[in-house]
Structure 1
Amino acid sequence: MITWLKELDPVYQALAAGLFTWGLTALGAALVFGLLKVNRKLLDAMLGFAGGVMLAASYWSLLAPSIAVAEEQGWPSWLPAAIGFLAGGAFLWGLDQLLPHLHRGLPIESAEGPRTAWQRSVLLIIAITLHNIPEGLAVGVALGSAASGLKTASLGSAAALAIGIGLQNVPEGVAVAVPLRGEGLSRMKAWMIGQASALVEPVAAVIGAAVVVFAAPVLPFALSFAAGAMVYVVVEELVPETQQQGNDDLATLCLMLGFAVMMILDVALG
């Protein structure tokens, strides 16, 4: 994968990586054609794993490089990381307030954001799309930073991030599509919603890569921005969702496993 990516322009690298992560979401969602439902323990375990991957990626692939790049550029090492991290969380919080959406497993009365008459499926798509924006952005920013020439940024680390995000997208695709099937949607419609939720990832990846390639001074801020957005999603959505049915310990152990897997990928490939 790394050898193939080296031959592409950074923006095209980001597009390819975004399509890769989207494709694994679509693959996971495709299991809806063979499954009627997912055991709740398994679902919480998968979501915990996804959260662990995102948390590890936030540090190993984004925050740590942000600090290192800031030092190379002459910034106080902590400043871009702190500003970008808080800005990323604030950005996701703002989108939460502006766009009506509904988290998985909750009744439509629990929809967040402005009141609306939109259908449940539309509100679910919006919520999942909001969740996927930081993932695509993180992949794009990492690939853009690898092309910057800075010694602290490597294509191997960016590829590890794309692989890690892709791995956790498989169970996320299952976690989106199969419950929708259980709510009465056809298999095809449940799959369409599941895969469509990740279509934003290639778009966000391209935007992230383009920003850092054409505006190199913002690189440490962009890296930490993506990290803050991902941590916001984990804490605001994934962790609470895994705590609803008494599977706290299982979800926590799987979160730690996901963290370890992503850490190993980043260190081994980076």
Structure 2
Amino acid sequence: MSELLQHPTAQVFLYALITAVATGLGALPFFFFEKLTRSWLGISNAIASGLMLAASFGLIYEGLNYDLWFTFYGIIIGLIPRGTSPLKAAWWSVFSSLPQPLMAVPAFIFVEIFRDYLPVGLGFAGGAMIWMVFAEVIPDAMEENDASIIATAITISVALMIVFQVLIG
């Protein structure tokens, strides 16, 4: 079993499965609190913003390891919603993460075959998340809380995500 987990394809599947399960942890507070206050919802949005920003820049830095200009183009294609409403963009972001464990292995194989285009995809994912954070998540958070509280929550969550990325990297 240990030898099987050493294979890159098995590791990709395992990490994607962990990611998919971790996505559900966002509902955890609702098991303990029947109704969160608007203030806590704002702080939650700020924390999500920070995590998304740090993850976006992690994707972008990974793309830069392959190609500067392809990554740049991917970012630009991702900051631009192409006529899609913010609500629809949010829906597609959530919907697209549902099949992660099943599609991670074929995606890994695909990326290996088309490695030259990986920076565009990484830039696109990072750019799309950055756009979502600034167009939707932070404005929603600002409606519920003071700017200094939101900024503090974002800063702390960015810092924690960077530490997490370094520790697992």
Q: Which category describes the TM-score, using the shorter chain as reference length?
A: 0.7 to 0.9
Mapped partners of 1:224, 1:81: distance in 2: 5
Query: Per-residue deviation at 1:23?
Result: 1.8
1:79 matched residue in structure 2: 69
- What is the distance in 2 between the residues matched to 1:204 and 1:225? 18
Change (3 A) 1:255 1:30: closer
The answer on whether the counterparts of 1:129 and 1:200 sit within 8 Å (CA) in structure 2 is no
Determine whether 1:43 maps to 2:41: yes
Give 1:245's aligned residue. Answer: 144
Aligned residue for 1:96, secondary structure, equals coil
Structure 1: runs of 5 or more not aligned: 71-77, 103-125, 137-198
Q: Which residue of 1 aligns with 2:63?
A: 66
TM-score normalised by the chain length of structure 1: 0.53
Moved more, 14-23 or 80-89: 14-23
State the match for 2:92 in structure 1: 130
CA 1:242–1:210 in 2, change beyond 3 Å: closer, same or farther? Answer: farther
Structure 1 Cα separation of the partners of residues 36 and 141 of structure 2: 14
Does the CA contact (< 8 Å) of 1:66 and 1:220 recur in 2? yes
8 Å CA contact 1:133, 1:201 repeated in 2: no
Structure 1 or 2: larger helix share? 2
Alignment partners' CA distance in 2, 1:52 and 1:5: 35
Equivalent residue, structure 2, for 1:96: 84
RMSD of aligned Cα (Å):
3.0
TM-superposed deviation, 1:33: 4.1
| Deviation at residue 89 of structure 1 after TM alignment | 3.1
1:157-196 equivalences under 5 Å are none
Cα distance in 1 for partners of 2:155, 2:118 equals 29
Paired residue secondary structure (1:228): helix
Corresponding residue pairs, total: 168
For residues 13 and 136 of structure 2, what CA distance do their matches in structure 1 show? Answer: 26
% identity of equivalent residues: 26
Tell me the equivalent position of 2:54: 56
> Would you say the 8 A contact 2:46–2:150 is kept in 1?
yes
Instruction: Provide the C-alpha distance between the structure 2 equivalents of 1:38 and 1:235, rounded to a whole number of angstroms.
Output: 23
Match of 2:27 in 1: 29
